[in-house]
Chain A
Amino acid sequence: MQATETDPRPGNGTGEPGPIPVVLTINGTERRLEVEPWTTLLDLLRERLDLTGSKKGCDHGQCGACTVLVDDRRVNACLTLAVMLDGASVTTVEGLAQDGQLHPVQDAFVEHDAFQCGYCTPGQICSAVGLLKEGRARSDDEIRELMSGNLCRCGAYVNIVAAVRQVMDGTGAGR
């Protein structure tokens, strides 16, 4: 990557387009990859690494189905080029459960039936995990507002708020 630091043009340092080496830690495992400059993080995950948990609902940053955590911050993987993430740590929905135990947000989503078709769910869950880390939301209204980048066409919002609230409050199973 030395070449790119001196060469302002995007590319692999040769001036020609082509794969660029990056090192990503994905769900705790370091991966050395060669990626095209135009490949999004989402397409890298889904098409090359067979991590299809992150979903493509719009590919335009409008729906949030692709939400993953990059260095603990929630981002839209469809709007993030993989080459921008050299050295970053990426957590997808596949990386949240530890030692066979669901992450508390995952468990709360099942308990509150906070999904139906399941397609927006990985993004909702990653977004909720990011939200909890941010510590900005206190009230249900704030949860609603700060989870509004994740669309759910099945309309599970009431249950999503209940699930996030349960984890936020550290309480056990809700209603």
Chain B
Amino acid sequence: MVQTSTAPLPSRAYVGTGQRRIDGVSKVTGQARYAAEFPADGLLYGHVVSGGALANGMIERIDASAAEAAEGVVRVYTHENRPRQPWFDSTYQDQVAPPGIPFRPLKDAKIVYSGQPVALVVARSLEVAAYAASLIEITYREEPFRTDLAAEQSNAYVPPEKRAGIEPPPPDRGDVDRALAEAPVKVEASYFVAAEHHNPMETHASTVVWNDGKLTVYDKIQGVVASKEYLTEVFGLIADDVQVISPFVGGAFGVGLRPQYQLFLATMAALDLQRSVRVTLTRDQMFTLTYRPHTIQHLALGADRDGRLTAIRHEAVAATSTFEDYQEVVVNWSGLGYRCPNVAFDYKLAKLHTYTPSDMRAPGAATGVYGLECAMDELAHAAGIDPLELRLKNYAEEDANTGNPFTSKQLRECYRQGAERFGWSRRSAAPRSMREGRELIGWGMATGFWEASMQQTSARAILSADGRLEVATATADIGTGTYTILAQIAADAMGVPIEQVDVKIGDSSLPASPLEGGSWTAASAGSAVEKACFGLREQLFHHARAMEGSPLANEVLERITFAGGRMAVANDPSRSVVVADVMAALGLEKLAAEETAKPDQDAQENYSAYTHAAIFAEVRVDEELNVVRVTRIVNAVAAGRILNLKTARSQILGGVVFGIGMALEEQSELDHRFGRFMNHNIAEYHIPVNADVRDIDVIFVEEHDDKVSPIGVKGLGEIGIVGTAAAIANAIFHATGKRVRDLPITPDKLLRDGDDGVSSGMARAG
């Protein structure tokens, strides 16, 4: 079904083991350089001036004279004096731009969201640029704006133009109204997911090095090709004149998928001044970038007395901006998660005067599966059935949204191993039935789903006479472990020690690669690197076989193994040649192969590929203070082949911690008077700290998949978060008997009397 190489499968000396990161030493010694850390002669510093406390209107007057007069200031750019830019909005569309008109920094006097960049001060030092930015005086004319999602629900609409790569909800199935009316057991509730900002530890930055009209750009981006394409389009540069480099990315989680405004501003200034310019955003400016859209969901579930689902209705209204229709997959999960004959979907957007939301770790799924999995827990409670038992009763053997079978689905095994490790069978069913001292103890669980996909990616492999192997592709490592898994794959493919492998990524001059996102990088870049190495093997074999007196004479590639720097006949290792000898005999300094790996069309059309997880959570809730502690998580994941046990586990740990933040802490709060996210710093926007995280146990369930990608990998970047917030919310219900349907679940919400979900969720939805 998938692309297969004619070569035998490589030996697996490294793949599947726990390898230390090959870039680890550079990170722990401070040698790894990030976008704002590349030096340049005569570097100038740009500081962005963020717009005022309004979300719609016009700049009436902007006075930069005091800033321009400050010693050390080189230039102040505003919409009034910026260099000429392309006219058409479509020029500014990046690889993942949703339908609409992209935001164009300094385009004109119009204010379209609160905090948008309105000027750039360029100075000889960081401090002078920041100081001079404070001297700029701006007066605005305010126009009405709307930032309250709850109030805008009535204006919600089905997006007229689909976002590329995002499946709209499938057609409804059966008759949900009737099935719900007839269901002996049913639950219906609304759930609210708060807006969240990605907040990678590294703020966005671009260092643009100007060299005689050619640019070397160090950018914080999840894929250098996206930045390069944006720059060549917007600034009319020829491809050879721009190189984008991003060897290390200090976290991104989706906020680095679209080129952000600092890239535009730094490049504009560098080209205009013919100088090198760096623009670094401040932490508070990170809240003027994109965010996970706050979303109101409504779910209704019906079941028979045995707990078999008869109806699911899943509706969602999500925030978007006034200028783009950002879309993600929120409700579709309810059509494929469980077997159910009657399903109805609705997914709408509501326009707010904010910046456009965008993908944030498990976009759509983190939101939609939270709703579905909490509703399933409510159904289990209503039906008097164990929550895990309810999932097993409704286990989906095929993807009912498409009618396709799954490429693989070891979710049952996730449930079994996760439950066993957690000790789920010892759970007492009734809420408030477990306690220790003043703490109520709750156990909850949920299922996680994420799409497993692969994108076309090219890679190059070069073998040198000295035995070093270099593999290269433009892709990124945003902390995911890309460097290391590519080295493992290459070392195994060529049968060389991993220490002999050099991995080059994060450079637009390397073979093309898509953005790092969607959990597809390991499958995509990994398959491309393996294919390039197979190309090398083939060349080496043909050279070796043709040598005079070759021990491989009359052999075929399928019977040759590569190990220990030798090519040998399988089952007859006495017939072998040393790879280096072949290179020497031919006088080859280097041997190179470049290949492109593509997803298999047939598998894509006839199968559904998903990653699955079962998450079990224990919480302890102080009965008087209502403080929640997540004391234990077990996450059992089925994700196809696991390449590196160390980095794979870290990916899941990270996803779970993101889920803890989503469940208990994270919320970007809009002040509707100013249309601004007001807790725009990480003292007031809470992300989990070390003391918030206790035991997290990760299980990788064995899963063989020969269809999902050539190397059998499904990807791990998102699955760790999906379902985690639901498992925690369900555990809190089990501990306290209170169902809070409004994330994050902060102590004040638990303090309220009674079952407060729907109304409080709606009241807070803005």
Q: Which residues of A contact B (CB under 8 A)?
A: 36, 38-39, 43, 46-47, 50-60, 62-63, 65, 92-94, 96-97, 102, 106-107, 109-111, 113, 115-122, 125, 141, 143-145, 147-161
| 16 examples of A-B residue contacts, CB within 8 angstroms | A46-B37, A51-B30, A55-B34, A59-B282, A62-B683, A92-B30, A113-B21, A118-B28, A119-B202, A122-B28, A153-B201, A153-B687, A154-B654, A155-B653, A157-B657, A157-B693
Q: Which residues of B contact A (CB under 8 A)?
A: 20-21, 23-25, 27-34, 36-37, 39, 125-127, 199-203, 248-253, 280, 282-283, 478-481, 646-647, 649-651, 653-658, 681-683, 687-696
**Alpha-carbon separation in the docked complex, A148 to B689 (Å):** 5
Q: Which chain A positions have C-beta within 8 A of B248?
A: 117-118
Q: Which chain B positions have C-beta within 8 A of A154?
A: 201, 251, 479, 650, 654
**Alpha-carbon separation in the docked complex, A50 to B34 (Å):** 13
Q: Evaluate contact between A55 and B654: CB separation under 8 angstroms.
A: no
Q: Evaluate contact between B689 and A158: CB separation under 8 angstroms.
A: no
A112's nearest neighbour on chain B, judged by CB, is B646
From A47, A55, A125, A158, residue with most partner B Cβ within 10 Å: A158
Q: Evaluate contact between A94 and B21: CB separation under 8 angstroms.
A: no
Q: Evaluate contact between A117 and B478: CB separation under 8 angstroms.
A: yes
**Alpha-carbon separation in the docked complex, A53 to B199 (Å):** 20
10 closest A-B pairs by beta carbon, nearest first, are A53-B30, A155-B657, A119-B250, A117-B479, A116-B479, A118-B27, A155-B654, A93-B30, A52-B37, A110-B24
Which single member of A52, A94, A145, A151 contacts B682 (CB below 8 Å)? A151
Q: Evaluate contact between A156 and B650: CB separation under 8 angstroms.
A: yes
- Nearest-neighbour CB distance to chain A for B631, whole angstroms, equals 11
Q: Evaluate contact between A47 and B126: CB separation under 8 angstroms.
A: yes
Q: Evaluate contact between B681 and A62: CB separation under 8 angstroms.
A: yes
**Alpha-carbon separation in the docked complex, A160 to B127 (Å):** 34
Q: Evaluate contact between B691 and A145: CB separation under 8 angstroms.
A: yes
Which single member of A47, A92, A113, A150 contacts B646 (CB below 8 Å)? A113
Q: Evaluate contact between A119 and B25: CB separation under 8 angstroms.
A: no
Q: Evaluate contact between B29 and A94: CB separation under 8 angstroms.
A: yes
Q: Which chain A positions have C-beta within 8 A of B28?
A: 93, 102, 106-107, 109-110, 115, 118, 121-122, 125
B693's nearest neighbour on chain A, judged by CB, is A157
Q: Which chain A positions have C-beta within 8 A of B687?
A: 151, 153
How many residue pairs bridge A and B at CB < 8 Å? 175
Q: Evaluate contact between A119 and B200: CB separation under 8 angstroms.
A: yes
**Alpha-carbon separation in the docked complex, A111 to B694 (Å):** 20
Which single member of A46, A57, A111, A115 contacts B202 (CB below 8 Å)? A57
Q: Which chain A positions have C-beta within 8 A of B480?
A: 116
Which single member of B479, B682, B696 contacts A118 (CB below 8 Å)? B479
Q: Which chain B positions have C-beta within 8 A of A151?
A: 201, 682, 687, 689
Q: Evaluate contact between B30 and A110: CB separation under 8 angstroms.
A: no
Would you call the interface of chain A mostly helix, strand, loop, or mixed? loop
Which single member of B31, B681, B696 contacts A58 (CB below 8 Å)? B681
Contacts A92-B30, A144-B690 given; indicate if A156 touches B202 (C-beta within 8 A): no
**Alpha-carbon separation in the docked complex, A110 to B647 (Å):** 11
From B23, B479, B649, B682, residue with most partner A Cβ within 10 Å: B479
B484's nearest neighbour on chain A, judged by CB, is A113
Q: Which chain A positions have C-beta within 8 A of B688?
A: 155, 157
A48's nearest neighbour on chain B, judged by CB, is B125
A120's nearest neighbour on chain B, judged by CB, is B201
- Nearest-neighbour CB distance to chain A for B27, whole angstroms, equals 3
From A36, A47, A141, A160, residue with most partner B Cβ within 10 Å: A47
Q: Evaluate contact between B30 and A54: CB separation under 8 angstroms.
A: yes
Q: Evaluate contact between A155 and B656: CB separation under 8 angstroms.
A: yes
**Alpha-carbon separation in the docked complex, A54 to B693 (Å):** 25
Q: Which chain A positions have C-beta within 8 A of B126?
A: 43, 47
Which single member of A96, A152, A160 contacts B201 (CB below 8 Å)? A152
Q: Which chain A positions have C-beta within 8 A of B691?
A: 141, 144-145, 148
Q: Which chain B positions have C-beta within 8 A of A57?
A: 201-203, 283, 682
Q: Evaluate contact between B39 and A50: CB separation under 8 angstroms.
A: yes
Which single member of B251, B683, B696 contacts A153 (CB below 8 Å)? B251
Q: Evaluate contact between B650 and A159: CB separation under 8 angstroms.
A: yes
**Alpha-carbon separation in the docked complex, A71 to B38 (Å):** 29
Q: Evaluate contact between A144 and B693: CB separation under 8 angstroms.
A: yes
Q: Which chain B positions have C-beta within 8 A of A63?
A: 201, 283, 682
Q: Which chain B positions have C-beta within 8 A of A147?
A: 690
Q: Evaluate contact between B202 and A117: CB separation under 8 angstroms.
A: yes
- Nearest-neighbour CB distance to chain A for B168, whole angstroms, equals 31
Q: Evaluate contact between B27 and A115: CB separation under 8 angstroms.
A: yes
Q: Which chain B positions have C-beta within 8 A of A102?
A: 25, 28-29
Q: Evaluate contact between A36 and B21: CB separation under 8 angstroms.
A: no
From B656, B689, B692, residue with most partner A Cβ within 10 Å: B689
Q: Evaluate contact between A117 and B249: CB separation under 8 angstroms.
A: yes
Which single member of B21, B249, B696 contacts A110 (CB below 8 Å)? B21
Q: Which chain A positions have C-beta within 8 A of B657?
A: 155, 157
Q: Which chain A positions have C-beta within 8 A of B655?
A: 155
- Nearest-neighbour CB distance to chain A for B93, whole angstroms, equals 27
B650's nearest neighbour on chain A, judged by CB, is A113
B688's nearest neighbour on chain A, judged by CB, is A155
Q: Evaluate contact between B250 and A157: CB separation under 8 angstroms.
A: no
Q: Which chain A positions have C-beta within 8 A of B649?
A: 113
Q: Evaluate contact between B29 and A106: CB separation under 8 angstroms.
A: yes
Q: Give 15 A-B pairs besides A117-B251, A156-B654, A157-B690 with Cβ atoms closer than 8 angstroms.
A: A43-B127, A56-B36, A56-B280, A57-B202, A59-B283, A60-B283, A62-B683, A63-B682, A111-B20, A141-B691, A149-B689, A150-B690, A151-B201, A154-B251, A157-B693
- Nearest-neighbour CB distance to chain B for A129, whole angstroms, equals 12
Q: Evaluate contact between A148 and B646: CB separation under 8 angstroms.
A: no
Contacts A47-B126, A106-B29 given; indicate if A58 touches B682 (C-beta within 8 A): yes
B282's nearest neighbour on chain A, judged by CB, is A59
Which single member of A36, A60, A65, A121 contacts B127 (CB below 8 Å)? A36
Q: Evaluate contact between A53 and B31: CB separation under 8 angstroms.
A: yes
Contacts A94-B29, A121-B27, A152-B201 given; indicate if A113 touches B690 (C-beta within 8 A): no
**Alpha-carbon separation in the docked complex, A52 to B278 (Å):** 15
Q: Which chain A positions have C-beta within 8 A of B21?
A: 110, 113
A93's nearest neighbour on chain B, judged by CB, is B30
**Alpha-carbon separation in the docked complex, A94 to B280 (Å):** 23
**Alpha-carbon separation in the docked complex, A109 to B650 (Å):** 12
From A107, A119, A153, A156, residue with most partner B Cβ within 10 Å: A153
Contacts A52-B37, A57-B203, A116-B481 given; indicate if A155 touches B658 (C-beta within 8 A): yes
Q: Evaluate contact between B200 and A153: CB separation under 8 angstroms.
A: yes
Which single member of A53, A115, A120, A158 contacts B696 (CB below 8 Å)? A158
**Alpha-carbon separation in the docked complex, A161 to B657 (Å):** 14
- Nearest-neighbour CB distance to chain A for B448, whole angstroms, equals 16
- Nearest-neighbour CB distance to chain A for B740, whole angstroms, equals 23
Q: Which chain B positions have C-beta within 8 A of A152?
A: 201, 690
